[in-house]
Amino acid sequence: MNFVTYGPFELDEWSPEGIDALYEKFEAKQKGLKFSVGVYIVGCIENGVLKPWYVGKSDKNMGGRVFKHFNAFLEDLYKKNGNLQFFLIPHITKQGRLKKSSKNGYRKAIDRLEFALIGSCLGCNPKLLNKQEVTFHSNMKVPGYWNSPSTEHDSSAKALAKMLRTKS
Tell me the backbone φ, ψ of residue 55, rounded to 5 degrees. -120, 130
Q: How many CB atoms lie within 10 A of CB 109?
A: 18
The helix (H) or strand (E) run that includes residue 2 is strand 2-3
Q: What is the pLDDT of residue 53?
A: 92
Q: Where are the domains of the chain?
A: 2-129, 131-168
Highest mean pLDDT of the ranges 5-19, 69-83, 123-137: 5-19
The CA-atom distances, in angstroms, between 4 and each of 7, 22, 40, 49, 167 are 10, 19, 11, 23, 27
156 CA to centre of own chain: 32
Q: What is the mean pLDDT of the segment spanning 52-60?
A: 89
Tell me the backbone φ, ψ of residue 146, rounded to 5 degrees. -145, 125
Percent of the chain with pLDDT over 70: 92
Going through 12-163 in order, the beta strands assigned E by DSSP cover: 38-46, 49-58, 84-92
CA separation for the pair 16, 131 (Å, rounded): 27
Is the dihedral angle over the CA atoms 98, 102, 108, 111 positive or is it negative? positive
CA separation for the pair 56, 8 (Å, rounded): 15
- Whether residue 105 is predicted with pLDDT greater than 60 in this model: the reply is no
